[in-house]
Amino acid sequence: MIKLVALIPLFPLIGFVINGFFGKKISKAMSGGIASLSVFASLIVSVGVFMELQGSESKTHVVNVFSWITSGMLNVPFEFLVDPLSTVFLLIITGIGFLIHVYSIGYMHDDEGFARFFTYMNLFVFFMLLLVLGNNFLITFVGWEGVGLCSYLLIGFWFKNTAYNNAAKKAFIMNRIGDLGFLLGIILIFINFGSITYGEVFDKAGTVSVSTITTIALLLFVGAIGKSAQLPLYTWLPDAMAGPTPVSALIHAATMVTAGIFMVARANVFYSISAVASETVAIVGVVTAVFAATIGLLQNDIKKILAYSTVSQLGLMFLGLGVGAYSSSVFHVTTHAFFKALLFLGAGSVIHAMGGEQDIRKMGGLSSKIKITFITMLIGTIAISGIPPFSGFFSKDEILAHTYEHSKTLWFFGMLASMMTVFYMFRLMFLTFFGKFRGTHAQEHHLHESPPSMTFPLIVLAILSVIGGVLGFPEFWNLPNWMHHNLEPIVLRPNYSILSHETEWSLMGIAVAAALAVAYFAYLMFEKYKVLPADREEQLKPWQRLIYNKYYVDEIYDAVIRKPLDGISKVLHSVVDKELIDGLVNGVGSSVKLVGASVRYFQNGNIGFYLMNMVLGVVLIILLTFIIR
């Protein structure tokens, strides 16, 4: 089955081609069915590859597809790497991707761009699979750029809206900033190792100076910062909520934004060698986690709350990577894919029921109207809050435990981010599903549960959010931590002393008690005492206004970066381009025209004039000859 791994990205590519060329000529049911079945076919092959790898003695298999680039010293075969890390991501991408495709059939049913939507979705899945399967940095980079392109297309899917187009351009440009760092890192890898194939590079990592490894690792991390929305390149992700909700679930919760996590985990050899790079990853991660969590506290757009939650959770994953807990971060990627895809799709179901409304201030009392959506979103909220026995508890606890061993300060801020996560998620739940309905009469009349094509993925993801913790039980429970043992051949084991059972239980107890206390506080605030968000920004206190406006980061970027660049561009256009360059080009043309106008008098067609000039020329030549002698 491993030899058939090339079929995994091929199926979505076929779906992309069919919908791209014939989508408008076939029915919506067939278009959505082809797109969904293509991803399902990839899921079946992925499961087969995963099962064969589990039973194989060798945990690393390279499948050569064709000879790709051969130029001088550069030899880049088109190869796929099948190992525990890539197979875990294969299951996440194809499994969650299939559920979201099915959900999209119902969600996008009335959209005029139905076939175009599934065309883009299939293309995205193809590039994401290419990213995680590539056996060298270049194939990964092709997938990396491809998902960036698809993100641009899907965020700006409703292109008639100028604001959505601006959000798409913002995502594309900010990703390009990070991608430049990634590309420079790849070039530096080739210069120092003479290869960009993973196995060859990592085997030689110890032969290069630590400073060089640090530079490479930091450049690769710049790429991860852009793709995985970390400070300072995070602002594109909340704006990316302009795209349809299934896009938010697939690209901005479960797959694309985790590409940076995958890349750092894949290059864990570099980060294990460079303490500076690892510490940078951890600090950026924890600062982003806390920063984004504070913004989520006062947002009122249901999708924006989840967007900042995603940025914060990605920060926790980078914190785990930075302290060397690579398998724990991949574990959290997996559980996060379950409950965050569930929450985004649940939010889409709420928006569908509310006739397009996304403001939680205009909701309330929906628990009895859309029961399946309410129950599944409650499960997702409990999971992301880290309350046992749901999946998020196990993965988040692992990261925090390893962080505690590394740095008590980083652990404290990681806990702070987790507590804020509990608050804003239960705030979302109480304001959306409890109390009295605060919308219009027309919205209340429109309330209804979503169709089965939308509720079925919610139920499946809710089940996974409940049982996902079995992938990584704490080892001190004397239970197998499957994720850790599965990834052990690929990622280096953290060089920590084993925490005592008492410390483990204490940390676990603190985390659970804090989560329950914050959840109860949210209950008192929004359910018992019926505190409602302010209707107008003027009603907020200054510190609340600061958080509500996202610390004015976009405005700062606008004032410090965009406007000066616009001013420089105008100067360059008016002075350098129009006056200097255009003046030079136009001057050359005018000079040629002037010379031509003068010379044409010598070409008057008078033979006598030509003979006189010839005689004068001969005389001049003779005189010059005598002068020179």
Report pLDDT digits (tens) over 110-126.
Answer: 888 999 999 999 999 99
Percent of the chain exceeding pLDDT 70 equals 99
Q: Where does the pLDDT of residue 578 fall: very low under 50, low under 70, confident under 90, or very high at 90 and above?
A: confident
Asked whether residue 509 falls in the same domain as residue 392, the answer is: yes
State the total domains in the chain: 2
What type of residue sits at position 337? A
Alpha carbon separation from 15 to 10, 110, 150, 254 (Å, rounded): 9, 21, 15, 21
Give the per-residue pLDDT at 493.
61
In contact, 42 and 94? CB cutoff 8 Å: yes
Say if residue 477 is in the same domain as residue 604. no
Q: Are 224 and 314 in contact (CB under 8 A)?
A: no
Confidence class of residue 346 from pLDDT cuts 50, 70 and 90?
very high
Between CA 473 and CA 482 the distance in angstroms is 8
Is residue 513 domain-shared with residue 385, that is, in the same domain? yes
Range of the domain at 363: 319-327+343-544
Among the candidates 516, 544, 572, a domain finishes at 544
Long-range contacts of 571-580 (CB under 8 A, 24+ apart): none
Consecutive H or E run containing 219: helix 210-227
Selected residue with higher pLDDT from 439 and 267: 267
Co-location of 514 and 600 in the same domain: no
Joined tokens for residue 283: 């600090």
Q: Is the pLDDT of residue 447 over 60?
A: yes
Same domain, 521 and 579: no
Q: In the chain, how long is the greatest CA-to-CA distance?
A: 116
Residues 478 and 593 both lie in one domain:
no
485-520 per-residue burial string, b: 16 or more CB within 10 A, e: under 16: ebbeebbeebeeeebeeeebeebbeebbebbeebbe
Place of tokens 């209804």: 448
Decide if 465 contacts 360 (C-beta within 8 A).
Answer: no
Q: Which of the four pLDDT bands, split at 50, 70 and 90, describes residue 474? A: confident
User: What pLDDT, on the 0 to 100 scale, is given for residue 599?
Assistant: 77
Let me know if residue 407 belongs to a domain.
yes
Q: What is the mean pLDDT of residues 613-619?
A: 87
Statement to judge: residues 426 and 560 lie in one domain: no
Per-residue pLDDT tens digits for 11-63: 999 999 999 999 989 999 999 999 999 999 999 999 999 999 999 888 999 99
Amino acid at 351: I
Q: Does one domain contain both 535 and 599?
A: no
Average pLDDT taken over every residue of the chain = 92
| Helix ranges (DSSP H) in 324-440 | 326-353, 371-384, 391-406, 408-433
Cα–Cα distance for residue pair 332/317, rounded to 1 Å: 7
**The pLDDT of residue 496:** 52
Strand 74-82 to 61-71 pairing:
antiparallel
pLDDT of the residue at 153: 95
Model pLDDT, residue 624: 86
**Residue 479, CA distances (Å) to 470, 486, 505 in order:** 9, 14, 15
Listed residue (38, 32, 157, 138) closest to 94, CA to CA: 38
- Tell the residue number behind the tokens 């993925």, with chain if given: 457
Q: Which tokens in the block code for residue 104?
A: 């999209």
Nearest to 349 by CA among 482, 231, 461: 461
* Closest alpha carbon to 330 in 485, 214, 203: 485
Comparing CA positions, the residue from 332, 339, 310 lying closest to residue 464 is 339
Q: Please check whether residue 290 lies inside any domain of the structure.
A: no
Q: Average pLDDT in the 283-297 region?
A: 97
Whether the CB-CB separation of 416 and 518 falls below 8 Å is answered with: no
Mean pLDDT along residues 71-78: 88
The 3-state secondary structure of 534-581, one letter per residue: CCCHHHCCHHHHHHHCHHHHHHHHHHHHHHHHHHHHHHHHHHHHHHHH
Residue 587 maps to a domain: yes
Whether residues 518 and 609 share a domain: the answer is no
Phi, then psi, of 232 in degrees rounded to 5: -100, 10
Confidence check: pLDDT of 495 > 80: no
Residue 198, pLDDT score:
95
Which letter, b or e, does each residue of 211-233 get, where b requires 16 or more Cβ atoms within 10 Å of its Cβ?
ebbbbbbbbbbbbbbbbbbbbeb
> Distances in Å between the alpha carbon of 625 and those of 229, 234, 335, 612, 618?
79, 78, 94, 20, 11
Pick the closest to residue 352 from 118, 107, 109 (CA basis).
Answer: 107
* pLDDT attached to residue 392: 95
How confident is the model at residue 494, as a pLDDT? 56
Please check whether residue 540 lies inside any domain of the structure: yes
* 526-548 mean pLDDT: 91
pLDDT at 158: 93
State yes or no: pLDDT of 393 exceeds 90: yes
* Assigned token pair, 79: 């190869």
- The predicted-structure confidence for 176-222, as pLDDT tens digits, reads as follows 999 999 999 999 999 999 999 999 999 999 899 999 999 999 999 99
- Model pLDDT, residue 614: 86
Q: Is residue 422 over pLDDT 90?
A: yes
Q: Is residue 70 part of a domain?
A: no
Domain boundary among 496, 526, 544: 544
- In a shared domain, residues 571 and 620: yes
Instruction: Say yes or no to pLDDT of 461 above 80.
Output: yes
pLDDT at 11: 97
Mean of the pLDDT values across residues 422-445? 93
Q: Look-up: residue for tokens 């008016």?
A: 574
Residue with tokens 């988040």: 396
Residue 245 lies in a domain: no
Structure tokens at 203: 């085997």
**Looking at the predicted structure, is the pLDDT value of residue 498 above 70?**
no
Q: Is the pLDDT of residue 471 over 60?
A: yes
Say if residue 520 is in the same domain as residue 385. Answer: yes
Residue 413 resides in a domain: yes
* 491 shares its domain with 363: yes
* Last residue in a domain, options 544, 577, 596: 544
Q: Quick one: what percent of the chain has pLDDT higher than 90? A: 77
Q: Is residue 71 part of a domain?
A: no
- 342-356, 494-508, 613-627: range with lowest mean pLDDT: 494-508
Q: What's the chain's Rg over C-alpha atoms?
A: 30
Q: What is the pLDDT of residue 497?
A: 58
